[in-house]
């Protein structure tokens, strides 16, 4: 094994190098990475030890997060007056009887972990969302009366 601090073969590991308090050997900075040493992060033309963001690294897909900004609010339904015990699987079970659901989100309080009383359901088809609104608005669920309506689109 070669010590990464001093670059010498010996009976010590990098963490136990007796030379670690001294300046590193000048040839150890300019050496290309070997199979013994750790791989560098930058890959391409970045200098050794400099940080390169994942989206700028070699082989990264340039528009990876582009679709995340454009969520389909067209078939999104907002449901309010949920109990504190309600979780996403409960809401999915209730709404999937009207058609295929692509996404369920129940807002949860970060401190307590309990439901904040509202959530969103995205349907694959708009007709299924219309059916869910007409049937579940005013529906008694978990000792509360649900209020189900079209979700207002996010401001851009």
User: What secondary structure, in 3-state letters, does 88-136 show?
Assistant: HHHHHHHHHHHCCEEEEEEEECCCCCCEEEEEEEEECCHHHHHHHHHHH
47 — phi, psi (to 5°)? -75, 160
Residues facing residue 103 across a β-bridge: 122
Average pLDDT for the chain: 77
Instruction: Return the pLDDT at 152.
Output: 87
> Where exactly are the structural domains of the chain?
71-150
Closest CA to 72 of 112, 115, 124, 117: 124
Residue 48 has pLDDT above 50, yes or no: yes
Average pLDDT over residues 23-37: 49
- What confidence tier does 74 reach under pLDDT thresholds 50, 70, 90? confident
Task: Quote the crossing angle between the two packed helices 88-95 and 126-136, to the nearest 10°.
Answer: 100
Instruction: Return the pLDDT at 68.
Output: 41
26 — phi, psi (to 5°)? -60, -30
Instruction: Return the pLDDT at 47.
Output: 55
**Tens digit of each residue's pLDDT (9 = 90 or more) over 104-137:** 999 999 999 999 999 999 999 999 999 999 999 9
Higher pLDDT, 103 or 12: 103
Give the Å distances, CA to CA, from 54 to 47, 60, 61. 16, 7, 10
- 71-150 belongs to CATH 3.30.70.330: yes
Residue 75 has pLDDT above 60, yes or no: yes
**pTM of the entire structure?**
0.54
Closest CA to 78 of 16, 122, 127, 18: 122
């Amino acid at each position: 094994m070669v010590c990464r601090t001093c670059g010498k073969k010996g009976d010590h590991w990098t963490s136990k190098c007796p030379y670690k308090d001294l300046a590193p050997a000048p040839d150890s900075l300019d050496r290309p990475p070997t199979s013994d040493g750790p791989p560098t992060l930058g890959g391409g033309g970045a200098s050794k030890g400099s940080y390169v963001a994942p989206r700028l690294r070699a082989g990264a897909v340039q528009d990876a997060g582009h679709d995340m900004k454009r969520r389909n609010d067209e078939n999104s339904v907002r449901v309010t007056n949920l109990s504190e015990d309600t979780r996403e699987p409960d809401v999915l079970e209730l709404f999937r009887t009207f058609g295929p659901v692509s996404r369920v989100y129940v807002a949860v309080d970060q401190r307590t972990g309990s439901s904040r009383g509202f959530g969103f359901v995205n349907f694959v088809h708009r007709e299924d969302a219309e059916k869910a609104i007409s049937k579940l608005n005013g529906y008694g669920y978990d000792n509360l009366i649900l209020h189900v309506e079209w979700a207002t689109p996010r401001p851009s």
